[in-house]
Structure 1
Amino acid sequence: MIRLEKDGGLWTVTLNRPDKANALTEAMLAELADIAEAATEARVLVLTGTGKVFSAGADLEAARAGLAISPLWERLSGAIAGLPGLTIAALNGTLAGGAMGMVLACDLRIAVPGAKAFYPVMKLGFLPQPSDPARLVRLVGPSRARMILMAGRKIDTETALAWGLFDLVAEPDTLLDTARELAADTLGADPAHAANIKRLCQS
């Protein structure tokens, strides 16, 4: 249910459970964390999904069994955030719940028209992953982060773009091409040079 394709220094990770809105099981989450930890070899890591939804977050049954509060979420987002290369979330559709963590940890976020983002932790009675609120605040500011986390607002594509949660919008048939275009300079650079520039951009 997780597909990894390697093309030189470009690694593309695809969530492939479209019949369940790419909801994540414990095994899928562990596999994603393993891939992210191994991706120090990659110059660019792209995360995407199949179907109309990027990810609905935790699988409902798995969440009830404890996955919603698993340390695997933080392990995954921490591994992505720590990568020296460029990381891109290519959102083929709506992003929800715990899946927000891996996307917030990426350097860039592109989405298809109609993609929404929401993180209903207040309504569901869970805390967000530990690193997520600070990453969200850095992107959209504290008040807008509260709109998402505390007021439960579902953010549409245009709002996410205006707020800085999404960086670009691309049509579904050009989504991965757009990701590859964004990756081109980093793929062509010396990895140490790319890592140094990324370090300088971090706040």
Structure 2
Amino acid sequence: MIVTEDQGALRIIRLARADKANALTAEMLAAIATAAETAAASGIQVLVLTGEGRVFSAGADLDAVANGLGQDPVWERASSAIADFPGLTIAALNGTLAGGAFGIALACDIRIAPPSANFFYPVMRLGHLPQPSDPGRLSALIGPSRARMILMAGARINAEEALTWGLIDRITTPGTLVETALELAEHALGARAGHVAAIKAMTR
């Protein structure tokens, strides 16, 4: 389940399946994509992606994977919609980020997480390929060798290591994640939409 909430020029996209560790289904990914695709036309200048519970997302829902979710183009649709949004995007990762859920977080401009978060993408062990855009985005953030440590060597890294590597940009306490995201979004929320889009384009 995905819950969206608009506050002026801010849209919060929340994974709301805490009882299943926010495991992603095709319907959830499509809802994320739609929320991002329609944002700019609705006057939204900042997207904040977060989740409920102690885990941001365990990745793909296993029952859905058995029915072909792993090869569904909806993964790329969701991450591309976030990456293509002309405003500021912030992943307020409320906990561990795993597997295919990496895609929607890597597509964001900024990532913050609590000290307890872990990060792993076990595609090698499971015999899967990562989503097409994920390796390039991961390598751009942390470098090819560290990307291979996660994707090929199965490295599981904690929040401190993720911060050192550049996978996340700030560690904050769990209860203040959204508040921290709003602080980071303050300037973008107060600017003209065209100005936000221009600066984002200059930093690609």
TM-score normalized with structure 1 length: 0.98
CA distances 1:85-111 after superposition (whole Å, capped 9, x unpaired): 000000000000110000000000000
CA RMSD of aligned residues (A): 0.7
| Identical columns (%) | 62
Structure 1: 5+ residue runs without aligned partners?
none
Paired AA for residue 75 in structure 2:
W
Q: Which residue of 1 aligns with 2:25?
A: 25
SS at match of 1:130: coil
Deviation of 1:153 after TM superposition, in Å, equals 0.6
Q: Which residue of 2 aligns with 1:38?
A: 38
TM-score normalized with structure 2 length: 0.97
CA distance in 1, matches of 2:72, 2:157: 25
Paired AA for residue 163 in structure 2:
L
SS at match of 2:147: helix
Matched, 1:2 2:29: no
Paired AA for residue 76 in structure 2:
E
CA distance in 2, matches of 1:23, 1:129: 16
1:167-178, aligned counterparts within 5 Å? 167-178=169-180
CA distance in 1, matches of 2:188, 2:78: 22
SS at match of 1:87: strand
CA distance in 1, matches of 2:102, 2:39: 20
CA distance in 2, matches of 1:28, 1:77: 12
Q: Which residue of 2 aligns with 1:187?
A: 189
Paired AA for residue 65 in structure 1:
N
Paired AA for residue 29 in structure 1:
L
Q: Which residue of 2 aligns with 1:126?
A: 128
CA distance in 1, matches of 2:203, 2:181: 19
CA distance in 1, matches of 2:97, 2:161: 14
CA distances 1:79-137 after superposition (whole Å, capped 9, x unpaired): 10001000000000000011000000000000011101111111111111111111001
Paired AA for residue 15 in structure 1:
L
